[in-house]
Structure 1
Amino acid sequence: MSSELICADVFELILMRLPVKSLYRFKSVAKSWNHTISEAVSNRDFMLAHRRHSKIHSSSKKNMFLALWSFDAALISLSKLENNELKLLPVDLERRGSFVGRVESCDGLILILWKSCAKRSIHLWNPSARKYTNLGTPFSYPRGTNSGNLFAYPYVFTCGIGFDPISKDYKIVAANVSMKQYSVFNSKRRCWNESKIMEITIADDIRSFSLDGHICLQEGYEKQEETNSYDIKLVLFNPRDNKFYQCVYNTGQGSSTATSYCLYACSHGQFCALIGDMNSDVCRVVWKKRSGEWSEFDGVAVPWTMYHKFDDDDLIDGLSIRMLFTDDDGELIFSFGYRKVLVYSLIEKTSKLMVKPDGVVRGYPLIGYSDNLFFGN
């Protein structure tokens, strides 16, 4: 059936509901289809409408992971948490000679900071459109800089991605880890804007701070010896006005001991922290939902001792064990070392253990994954 036999508005509504992969495949049906679809996927209003529909009807895309197959990231692919197992999907990307320094995602767009002894660069991967874009780096290295100096300020940097509802576009930001300089990627000109000096506003406690679309660029915690507690500190970027904020959450008196640990995660409107003890399965969880609702769970029985052995290769240091969360349904995801994934439901108070697919050494949950046409051309 030819697109000329269908009303243009109706045909556009049909296209809007198609997955990105199908849209690109149907371009080869006929010249008229190729022309119509090519115009549609290049039109910002159509891309925004397709994005809205995809986000609403993306339940089948929940709990997607970026899977690393080796430490030097020779191959990365997508996997999906389904029926208590991680299933690999036929979408992958090969790159050799670099390590993954950071992974951030927003609506199916995956931002990867590659690092090596020679250089650092930021890349954007749109798996839906099978498009991979090298965004380069916003910070130049002075002539004569050797590889050893690349691990010192200001050549080490962090990055993030979020959606700006004012400009109706995705905003990518990078900042050096000393939090002195930053740059925003210009998606129209496809280059980095001139770097600027960062000014960080000290904001309220994370419980009262609005996390609506903020990008978390830096996170960390400090032990407070006087109160025997942890201070979790976040540096957030607001894509609406390009302003930076620092938020703090104190875990409360008596939450820090010699064998205690503190895990936390913050991504696109949600914040979650877990405080526990290595010698006990019982821990405390705080969770700020996208709606702004703050919840606290005491006596949460996450079964560490049943599923995890604390040895030299699998220490609970926040690196070998990473805590993240799913798409606003109260599930925490714990990645133990290189082989195990534990999912704990705060609502149902149940847990399930999964083993990562053979060969996968690390997985990064992609919160809110959906089909996306942006950065697809």
Structure 2
Amino acid sequence: MKTIGLLGLTLSILGPLIQCAAVPHVQRPVDVLLPCEYVMLEQGAAGLSFTRQKVTLVLRNLMVTQEQQSEPLPDYQTPEDTEVPIFEATANLPLLPFVERLLHVECEGEEIVCEITPLYSKFYIAHIRLPEMNIALVAKAGSAVDPDQPLSEKSIIPLTADLLVSSSPPSQRASVSKEAKFTCEVWGDIKGVDIEWHLQRDGKGKKIDPEEDSHFSVEKQAQERKEDSSLTINQLTVNYEGTYICAVSLGPHRLQQILQMKIKEPPQVTLALIEEPVPTLICHTDRYYPLDVEVEWQLNGAPLKHANSVTSSHRRNSDGTYNLNSRLQVSIPQSGAPPDVYSCVVSHVTAEEPIQVDITVSAPEPSLLFQIICYTSSLVLLAFMLKAIHMFARTIPHGIDKDKKLS
């Protein structure tokens, strides 16, 4: 019985492990279809303009990891009759971790931007933008590209895709003194590839060199047919807000990935009462960025629309954030009246709800000198009363004794 019980216990323990055993995975080629636009630059009477034409981009032979037991996805069959031009790009790339993402992006109803543009000679470039990443694909056609000619609706353009650049995130928000990171990955035949980082701000651009600016650090990692470059910005200040560019050079190709860094710093709000020369509330709003800030005053929960307030201009702090003061003259309640509750309400683009700070303004308490005078007067009055009682108590017994002697 004990042996059977032990065997049953062993099987009950191993049962979940057997059921959760790793399912074998294999790499399989898949075809990804994306709705795109063919973008051409045209010279007209009004100047340069862009024309757009709906097309379909088919990425053939992309490798994806799937369970061995799962049904392979059907291959894409080129239609005999098409309503829009089709670009068929056969990939010669290693396993891309985001292929599964591309397979389901249209089914999930997410926003995707896909544009194809003639590059030069026989090359096209496709830009694919997802919420969390950017992708640029360079593909070669079998014949020379005429960038000035639109495509016919029946066009099917076969391409060979040998180079892909991905970057993330396309845009991010960070606070002052925090850390931010961008990544840029190059896939394909990367022999001789060069990856540089640039920062463009206020109409000026510069190449990022960590040796010149310790706020930056760049880490590169090379693998077979892939190279990564990650840019880290340490101890962020407002001066590091801007457009970051991952510039990739490989042979005749020059690709750029555009990434945005935005500084968002919520305001710090304090409220104080100054009684001299006149009672005044000061609402200090500090360390906010950007400038979009509004200050409102409330009394007992109701807005003071005609408040006698004065708000200063934006003043810049050393780290690039801003501060301002708003002053409001107030009336002190009369003695015995209920206190007033004043609120400083600050709205800013970084805060989902306005920031509210309250202060209670009460009737003034008696001054210390007045309290001392009252206390002293009470003691003097008490002393006189005690002395009077004592004098009166002494006179009563003497009167009684005198009457007894006379009798």
Could you state the TM-score of these two structures normalised by the residue count of structure 2?
0.19
Higher relative contact order at CA 8 Å, sep ≥6: structure 1 or structure 2?
1
Q: Which has the higher strand share?
A: 2
Q: TM-score, normalised by structure 1?
A: 0.20
